[in-house]
Structure 1
Amino acid sequence: MSDYIVRATAAKGQIRAFAATTKNLVEKAREIHNTSPVATAALGRLLTAGAMMGIMMKNDGDLLTIQIRGDGPIQGLTVTADAKGRVKGYAFEPDVEIPANAQGKLDVAGALGNGILNVIRDTGMKEPYVGQTILVSGEIAEDLTYYFATSEQVPSSVGLGVLMNRENTVRQAGGFILQLMPDAGDEIIAELEERLKQVTSVTSVLDEGKTPEQLLEILLGDLNLEILDRIPAEFSCNCSKERVAKAVISIGKKEIAEMIAEDNPIEVNCHFCNSHYQFDVNELKEFLAAAR
């Protein structure tokens, strides 16, 4: 099954909903960054959330960045998504290995520790929107639920999961975001709370062969669920030698002159996709002429 996101409404517009299957893009991230199982789980959850939150944006040029910084051994995560289901990201310390938690599962909360969640929306305005909250659990889904409620004042429920195979490849990954609109009545809220109790694991539902549409059917089937559209999702980085060259030029004449003086080529690495770009001394001299 290809990765995709479903956008839907329920209860005559009182609930908006998103659900995604993201196994392939999380596996691609694992391969690119050679992440440990717990780092794959952490990064995979945030990539899934980022993909769904990205398509909430209105314009094709809008960009969403979610950053987590914690005092745990993984130190942090960064994910960037656009409005078309394209997402990329990395873990600060991708090879973290820690014991399982008390439930025998990958200890994402232990890997992240205590910290801060930042959500940055760049919509082309002079200043991007920045929302910040504390990590309430480190499990990411609960942290984003708290973020939506406190920073955006939108009561939400977020479910995220990554299931690993024994050989540490990704078996399943996906998630959902349900949000109550301002006109949601008490009966709808109570019904939704009962429904949410029926889904204790997103990856268990996906591992049964169910689709994102069927996941939403379990959650919202009796509430006039209406599927609006399906958006392909993928791990995609837009870096290129030209874009990296512009970044090198932007650091200024003094720094570029120092690189030239060392008389060696430089290599620049993209954090998001682990691509490497080399620039020789002649190229650096061209950058020096273009720099301010």
Structure 2
Amino acid sequence: MSDYIVHASGAGNQVRIFAASTRDLVEKAREIHNTSPVATAALGRLLTAGAMMGSMMKGEKDLLTLQIQCSGPIGGLTVTAKSDGTVKGYVNNPDVMLPPNSKGKLDVGGALDLGVLSVIKDMGMKEPYVGQTQLVSGEIAEDLTYYYATSEQINSSVALGVLMEKNNTVKQAGGFILQLMPFTEDAVIDKLEENVKKLPSVTTMLEEGETPEGMIRRVLDGFDVEFYEETPTGYVCDCSKERVERAIISIGKKEIQDMIDDQKPIEVNCHFCGRHYEFSVDDLKHLLKKAVRA
């Protein structure tokens, strides 16, 4: 398989780790949204994180949403992911262009600037779980590390990367999320910190030919490793005319009647995949009848 996520544990089950390669799904997102290089990098990092975090959920219908509202020129990002490894997302301003940062890299932190990261987990309960933290760097991996520590009280290390070709297509993309169990021994923590400090970037490892399994072995160097599930991941939008109809019905009878009174067809566009759905005045009248019966 091309893009996939691996789940493993190590050090006698004292740590768990997820790693992913996501080049194809990030490239598909770039093609759909025609994103600039820095927007591709930002969205690609959040999609990669979303895919791994979504795969951590257990229920078939569980849904994870990662949302960043920020003051930078990218305007914000939204990603949703399912437990089956599929993911989709968009940026508010896909055309954002910035000069490289001080390290000569794509300036994702500058594109986001100040803001808030929200993690929303809909697991079929009465209300979804919502965790929020301030962005600490705008680089996304550090922000998610901070989120886990403050909102879920899980000591973690998150690494994400997107490498672009000179023609602005995606060359490499992937990442890992390392999480410590509450009973992790200090000596294990010290060794893991040492391992993570020595690691090259995610995209450097992928360029060297590392697989997600290889990245996990390097993070857990010196410890036993047990591999579990291998989950394919990809960019999938599940929008449909029926779902859009339900959304229109949900806005209320008065609003639908106002659209009918305008005597013009309406077009609804999907943020995630760009599909267009057109509804004639007769379609709207049909939906109004459904709204009245609801």
> Which residue does the alignment assign to 2:172?
172
Aligned-pair CA distance for 1:253: 1.3
Q: CA deviation at 1:259?
A: 1.1
Q: CA deviation at 1:220?
A: 0.8
Query: What is the rounded CA distance, in whole Å, between the counterparts of 1:199 and 1:116 in structure 2?
Result: 28
State the SS of the aligned residue for 1:218: helix
Partner of 2:213: 213
Q: Which residue of 2 aligns with 1:110?
A: 110
Distance 1:120 1:199 in 2: 31
**SS of 2:193 mapped into structure 1:** helix
Deviation at 1:270, TM superposition (A): 0.6
Looking at structure 2, the residues matched to 195 and 221 of structure 1 have their Cα atoms a distance apart, in angstroms, of 7
Unaligned runs of 5+ in 1: none
For residues 222 and 60 of structure 1, the distance between their equivalents in structure 2, rounded to whole angstroms, comes to 35
Which residue of the partner structure matches residue 268 of structure 1?
A: 268
Residue pairs, 1:70-81, within 5 angstroms: 70-81=70-81
Deviates more, 1:180-189 or 1:249-258: 249-258
How far apart are 1:75 and its partner, in Å? 1.2
Q: Would you say how many aligned residue pairs link Structure 1 and Structure 2?
A: 292
Partner of 1:63: 63
Q: Does 1:101 align with 2:101?
A: yes
Partner of 1:31: 31
TM-score using structure 2 length:
0.98
Q: Find the aligned partners of 1:179 and 1:258 in 2 and give their Cα distance.
A: 51
1:251-272, CA deviations, whole angstroms, 9 ceiling, x for partnerless residues?
1111111111221111100111
- 1:222-261 → structure 2 map (5 Å cutoff): 222-261=222-261
Name the residue aligned to 1:18: 18
Mapped partners of 2:268, 2:172: distance in 1: 33
> Where do 1:72-221 residues align within 5 Å?
72-221=72-221
Letter in 1 for 2:6: V
1: distance between equivalents of 2:167 and 2:244?
35
- The offset of 1:221, in angstroms, is 3.3
Q: Could you report, residue by residue, the CA deviation over 1:85-135 in whole angstroms, capped at 9, with x for unpaired residues?
A: 000000011110011101111000000010100000000001100000000
- Which deviates more from structure 2 when the two are superposed, residues 4-13 or residues 247-256? 247-256
Shift of 1:70: 0.7
| Counterpart amino acid of residue 166 in structure 1 | K
The alpha-carbon deviation at position 150 of structure 1 amounts to: 0.6
SS at the partner of 1:16? strand
Alpha-carbon distance in 2 for matches of 1:224, 1:209: 22
Deviation at 1:200, TM superposition (A): 3.1
Aligned partners of 2:200, 2:65: CA distance in 1, in Å? 27
